[in-house]
Amino acid sequence: MDQDITRRLVLTLAMLLTLATPQLSAAAKVGDEAPAFSLATLDGQMVRLTDYLGKKPLYLIFWATWCPICLKEIPEINGLQERFADRLAVLAINVGINDSVEAARSYREEHGMRYPVLFDSGGRVSAAYRIVGTPTQLLIGADGVVRYRSAETPAAEDIEAHWATLSAER
């Protein structure tokens, strides 16, 4: 009898995990369609993935105020923002873990982040993109397909070299 109960429990847990897996497998890896999102900037402006689809590629940086690598990369990201301002949208999404809107706002000002900063309160966007560490950076083509995913800031030369793919529409 005990073996039967244990077996049923294991099967039930396995089924529950299987049902939860499709949400995780909808992750944004290179070649996947980027999950839709809608978040507010630190200044209260709503930003959606659909604001950029068909218009220009999108560079997302998932970050946190307590991430030392994130701090180190701000100058390089500012440089990309300046170089590609008219062709590439740059958005920094604070993952909202052990952070607050106030802390992110102070950090942005103190460290001179010259691109829009969004706050993922509750972590739903970070979960949809399967963010497990910061920084995580993605380039999403104008067609909505993830073209780059890494912990490293992409080099401007690499963005230029792949511009035709990034800017292609559906």
Q: Strands 46-48, 38-40: parallel, antiparallel or unpaired by DSSP? A: antiparallel
**CATH number of the CATH domain containing 85:** 3.40.30.10
Look up residue 157 and give its amino acid.
Answer: E
pTM: 0.82
What residue numbers bound the domain in which 41 lies?
26-167
What pLDDT is stored for residue 168 in this prediction? 81
In a domain, 10, yes or no: no
* DSSP-derived secondary structure for 34-73: PPP-EEEBTTS-EEEGGGTTTT--EEEEEE-TT-HHHHHH
The answer to whether residue 83 is domain-embedded is yes
Domain total in the chain: 1
Predicted local distance difference test score (pLDDT) of residue 119:
98
pLDDT digits (tens, 9 = 90+) for 124-162: 999 999 999 999 999 999 999 999 999 999 999 989 888
The three-class DSSP label of residue 18 is helix
d(CA 144, CA 129): 13
